[in-house]
Amino acid sequence: MIGRVTDLLLPGARDLRGRPLRGVAVLLAWIGLWALAVLRRDRLLATPGAGRPDWWIALLGLVTALSIVWRAGRPRATGRDPAEPDGEWAAVRAAFARHRLATAGLTLVALLALVAVLTPYLAPYDPAAQGADLVATRFQAPSWAHLMGTDRFGRDVLSRVLYGGRVSLLVGTLAVVIAITLGSLVGAVAGYARGWVDTVSMRTVDLLLSLPRLVLLITIIAFVDPSTTLIIVVLGLTGWMGTSRLVRGEVLSLREREFVQAARVLGFGRARILFRHVLPNVATPIIVAATLGIGNTILVEASLSFLGFGVPPPTPSWGDMVLRGVRDMHEAPWLVLFPGVAIVITVMSFNLVGDGLRDALDPRASREAAP
């Protein structure tokens, strides 16, 4: 019974039967997380400016995150119950867990996500609050009071990096969701329909790819009032072409496979064949593309902000912080250092996960691992 529940919450935690403690730990962690979300939703949804941190809540969240990562990072027990057919995911999970760097990347990504969710509790100061005495509080070097120092307005850099991370992750994830959805749709339809549909959409892709993305972005943003939503949408709309090519190629080869022929013989309509039979087979390259895409999008967003076309102030953003830190770099190098390091770590974590997934999902590698 409990096994069923953990199955629902976290697929893969089902070897509860073999290792009850770990299963229960996972279950409790999830309950804790949900309780947190439900009971303290006001704090979670709070905008920048929430006062002192609730350390015990942050601690609970960290424990939750670590237990999830610990569980997900473990290869599955080898002696599987043969009566319980597992998907190909079991082999993928095992292959992924063998990939040390990828596991490290996943841990970092999970931590970053958790920190982003819990930012209102973790941030020691209001990221917009300026010191009362500007001269005394500005350009303070990192200290116990301000772990990452303060900027030229006396604002706490740590708090700003934390809130900036929220924005970066949100923008990166949502933009990639838009890009992947659009790219998969265009690619799938083009590859399955072939003919003029394929020609028109792929030549459009070629055209869009021939324009430098940053220039395209700046041009669009220059015409409209920038907002976080706009940045997300525009990043999504300029990032789908690679995915559509990838998906088209896969669909072109999949549509000739026997099981697609078999689906046609069973009298299924085109939409059913495409979305129920062909696309699920492209899921793995799409997942890899999405993971790598998030890192890339965060980088592009930071570049945009650095050029002054990103998420508009006062919303803190890593790229914007680097931009504004550059002129004070000689007095206060931490202004550039910490947001820069944050960008590097985040992008690298996503790329590590993407690389690990690509290796784990490689058919040649997973064949050996398959039962």
Partner 1 sequence: MSAGGAADAGRPAPSAAGAGPDGPLLRVRDLGVSFAGPHGEQLRAVDGVSFDLAAGEALGLVGESGCGKSLTALSLVRLVDEPPARTAPGSSVRYRGEELVGAPPSRLRRVRGAEIGFVFQEPMTSLNPVKRVGYQVAEPLIAHEGLSRAAARDRARELLARVELPDPERALRAYPHELSGGMRQRALIAMAIACGPSILVADEPTTALDVTVQAQILELLARLRRETGMALLLISHDLAVVGEVADRVAVMYAGQIVERGPAAELFRAPSHPYTEGLLRAVPSIERRDRRLAVIPGRVPAPGSWPAACRFHPRCPYAWERCATEAPPEAALDEEGGRHSRCWLVAEPARRAGHGYVEVGG
Member of 143, 276, 331, 344 binding partner 1 (CB under 8 A): 276
CA dist 179 → 174, 175, 209, 333 (Å): 9, 6, 14, 36
Using the rule CB under 8 A, is 259 a contact of partner 1?
yes
Instruction: Find out whether 225 and 164 touch, Cβ atoms under 8 Å.
Output: no
CB of 10 to partner 1, least distance (A): 20
Among the listed residues 28, 77, 145, 271, the single contact to partner 1 using CB under 8 A: 271
Question: Which structure tokens are listed for 55?
Answer: 């350390």
Q: How far is the CB of 287 from partner 1 (least distance, A)?
A: 13
Question: Shortest Cβ distance from residue 312 to partner 1 (Å)?
Answer: 41
Is the distance from CB of 153 to CB of 216 less than 8 angstroms? no
Helix/strand/coil percent split, the chain, to 5? 70, 0, 25
Cβ of residue 211: shortest distance to partner 1, in angstroms?
33
Whose structure tokens read 């965060």?
Answer: 298
Residue 342-371 contact track with partner 1, rule CB under 8 A, x = bound: ----------------------------xx
- Give dist(CA 34, CA 29) in Å, integer: 9
Return the amino acid letter for 126.
D
The C-alpha atoms of residue 19 and residue 103 are separated, in whole angstroms, by: 21
79 near partner 1, judged by CB under 8 A: no
Contacting residue, 70, 139, 153, 268, with partner 1 by CB under 8 A: 268
Which segment (61-69, 136-144, 254-262, 334-342) binds partner 1 by CB under 8 A?
Answer: 254-262
Which residues are CB-neighbours of 258 under 8 A, at least 6 positions away? none
Of 52 and 364, nearer to partner 1 (C-beta) is 364
Q: Which two tokens stand for residue 67?
A: 């237990």
Q: Which residues bind partner 1 (CB under 8 A)?
A: 83, 85, 87-88, 257-259, 261-273, 275-277, 280-281, 283, 370-371
